[in-house]
């Protein structure tokens, strides 16, 4: 209810009759009580100096952090705050509720442990219209192993590295014609 109330409902569909609940609540909760609790939570969050609904959260580098003792699962949050996750994503990654996570994030932000990545603006239908984008792209081949040759060596993976594009050989180069490649088997 809190997550529904704090976000935007884009569409909904009424399901007549009983609904199969994965985790049924026994006894059930009254809508009035749920709404009151959701309102209270939204009020609490609104009163906080730092509130981040959709921002992506990043840990302040260790050298720039204030010298505070970490506790209460804060180190776990710092490890997960990689600039890719929103408070909602962090809550799922931690296996905790969104509200409790948002409260803790706000406290940690205030303590100088966390910062936000400025949100990217992504147009809903960027490049989707036919006639834009695809024509300007030069013909390119996918990286392929050549017949008779072993697979190209796989790169070692460095865990925790910042996401970046690795340019695979051949993505933007046309594939060499058959029989002209330097390593082609005779």
Partner 1 sequence: MAEDKLLTEMQALRERITGITGTAVASRDGLIIAEDTGGVNPDNLAALTSAALSLAQRLASEARQGTLREAITRSSGGYVAIYAVGAAAVLVLLGDEGLDITRLHRESRAAVDLIEALLT
Nearer to partner 1, 30 or 135 (CB): 135
Q: Does 73 bind partner 1 (CB under 8 A)?
A: no
122 binding partner 1? (CB under 8 A): yes
Interface residue with partner 1, options 22, 137, 177, 185 (CB under 8 A): 137
43 binds partner 1 (CB under 8 A): no
Residue 58: strand pairing partners? 82, 115
Identify the bridge partners of residue 116 per DSSP, sorted by sequence position: 57
Q: Which long-range contacts (CB under 8 A, 24 or more apart) does 153-156 make?
A: none
- Phi then psi dihedrals of residue 36, to 5 deg: -65, -45
Closest to 99 (Cα-Cα) out of 24, 30, 6:
6
Site string for partner 1, 79-118 (x = CB under 8 A): ---x-xx--xx--xx-------------------------
Residue 17 vs 163, nearer CB to partner 1: 163
Asked if 53 and 106 touch (Cβ cutoff 8 Å), the reply is no
Q: Which stretches of the chain are assigned E, i.e. beta strand?
A: 56-59, 114-117
Rounded least distance, CB 99 to partner 1, Å: 14
Percentages (nearest 5) of helix, strand, coil residues in the chain: 30, 5, 65
Question: Looking at beta carbons only, is 112 or 174 nearer to partner 1?
Answer: 174
Cα separations (Å) of 68 from 24, 140, 166?
A: 42, 52, 37
Site for partner 1 in 156-175 (CB under 8 A): 157, 159-160, 163, 165-168, 171-172
> Which parts of this chain interact with partner 1 (CB under 8 A)?
82, 84-85, 88-89, 92-93, 120, 122, 124, 126-128, 133-134, 137-140, 142-145, 151-152, 154-155, 157, 159-160, 163, 165-168, 171-172
């Amino acid at each position: 209810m809190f997550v529904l109330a704090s976000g935007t409902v884009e569409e909904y569909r009424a399901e007549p009759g009983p609904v199969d609940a994965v985790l049924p609540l026994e006894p059930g909760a009254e809508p009035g009580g749920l709404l009151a609790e959701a309102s209270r939570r939204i009020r609490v969050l609104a009163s906080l100096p730092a509130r981040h609904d959709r921002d992506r959260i990043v840990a302040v580098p260790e050298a720039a952090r204030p010298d505070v003792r970490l506790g209460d699962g804060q180190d776990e949050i710092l490890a997960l705050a990689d600039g890719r996750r929103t408070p909602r994503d962090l809550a799922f990654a931690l296996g905790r509720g969104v509200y409790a996570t948002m409260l803790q994030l706000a406290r940690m932000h205030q303590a100088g442990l966390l910062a936000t990545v400025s949100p990217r603006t992504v147009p809903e239908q960027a490049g989707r219209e036919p006639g834009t984008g695809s024509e300007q792209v030069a013909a390119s081949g996918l990286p392929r192993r050549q017949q008779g040759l072993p697979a190209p060596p796989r790169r070692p993976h460095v865990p925790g590295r910042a996401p970046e594009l690795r340019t695979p050989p051949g993505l933007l180069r046309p594939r060499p014609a058959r029989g002209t490649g330097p390593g082609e088997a005779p």
